[in-house]
Amino acid sequence: MPAYLKLDHISKTFRRGSSETEVLRDINLVINECEIVSIIGHSGCGKSTLLNLIAGLTPVTTGAVLLEDREVNAPGPERAVVFQNHSLLPWLTVYDNVALAVDKVFGSTKSRSERHAWILHNLDLVQMVHAKDKRPSEISGGMKQRVGIARALAIEPKILLLDEPFGALDALTRAHLQDSVMQIHATLKNTMIMITHDVDEAVLLSDRIVMMTNGPAATIGEVLTVGLERPRKRLELVADPDYIAARESVLRFLYERHSFVEAA
């Protein structure tokens, strides 16, 4: 099977005046179609930088991001991003936020009524049709993140990039949204890369977990394959030996071998 997304010897150095900071060094990763890959690491290790590199929002210093064997070096709708702080436009309603994306990407290929149906379909995927006429300030944090996911899904990206999508949510809402993501993945089979710092989230959702070493010059320390059957049920997994083993090995990586040395 050919690589769907390939990160080929990527490194990133930030320059500010005469000082240089090497954030990422020699990142190599191949992601297959329909796969969910989590990237986990301590804060400051360059996880979000890596996601921005894949999204094309930040240029790579050396190396290349290849999507279906073609280099991508600028942002584009085939790599949709779900931002950590939802990034909905506050002056638009929930519907219009999704419509902005849909009209731009499908403006020439879908008719007006097709686009309308498509917007509602995507809001329905995240159970947000009921709030379609509300503005972002009128809905809860979890709902905003749902709309952010709907906006990203609606442009039918080849790959969905999630930047700590549930980091700012409370535990119950987070669990709810994780279930939604698993459901969406079961239906649409999207390829997803998710940045997270939550070990349970990584094990529950991912096919593989990419563990990053600490910065500066962070790189991939280890890649763990999570072989749990789908669909995965949160409650059944609690006592599942494979789940426990996967969780343990991530924890060991993060807290034994690469524990965070500086004061957090």
Write out the residues near another protein by the rule CB under 8 A. Answer: 55-57, 74-77, 79-81, 83, 85, 87, 89-91, 100-101, 104-105, 135-137, 155
Spatial CA neighbour of 62 closest among 96, 95, 33, 25: 25
Which one, 10 or 161, has the nearer CB to another protein?
A: 161
What single-letter DSSP state applies at residue 129? Answer: G
Judged by beta carbon, residue 153 or residue 204, the one nearer another protein is: 153
Q: Name the residue type at position 86.
A: H
Taking alpha carbons only, the member of 67, 4, 71 closest to residue 33 is 4
Which is closer to another protein, CB of 139 or CB of 209? 139
CB closer to another protein out of 104 and 189: 104
In angstroms, give the least distance from the CB of 250 to another protein.
Answer: 29
Minimum CB–partner distance for residue 78 and another protein (Å): 10
How many CA atoms, within 13 angstroms, populate the side-chain half-sphere of residue 148?
A: 26
Is residue 90 helix, strand or coil? Answer: coil
Cβ at position 113, least distance to another protein in Å: 22
Collapsed DSSP state (helix, strand, coil) of residue 249:
helix
Q: Smaller CB distance to another protein: residue 87 or 183?
A: 87
**What does the alpha-carbon distance between residue 204 and residue 12 come to, in Å, rounded to a whole number?**
30
Tell me whether residue 115 or residue 208 sits nearer to another protein (CB atom): 115
Nearest to 152 by CA among 75, 230, 53, 40: 75
Smaller CB distance to another protein: residue 81 or 199?
Answer: 81
Tokens read off for 31: 């992601």
**Quick one: 22 or 103, whose CB is closer to another protein?**
103
| Shortest spacing between CB 56 and another protein, in angstroms | 8
Q: Rounded CA gap, 207 and 36, in Å?
A: 5
* Cβ at position 89, least distance to another protein in Å: 6
- Helices then strands, each counted (H, E), the chain: 8, 10
Instruction: Write the CB contacts of 50 (distance below 8 Å, at least 6 apart in sequence).
Output: 10, 12, 24, 27, 39, 195, 212
In the complex, minimum distance from the CB of residue 225 to another protein, in angstroms, rounded to a whole number: 30
Q: How far is the CB of 137 from another protein (least distance, A)?
A: 4
7 DSSP β-pair partners: 29, 65
End-to-end CA distance of the chain, in Å? 41
CB of 100 to another protein, least distance (A): 6
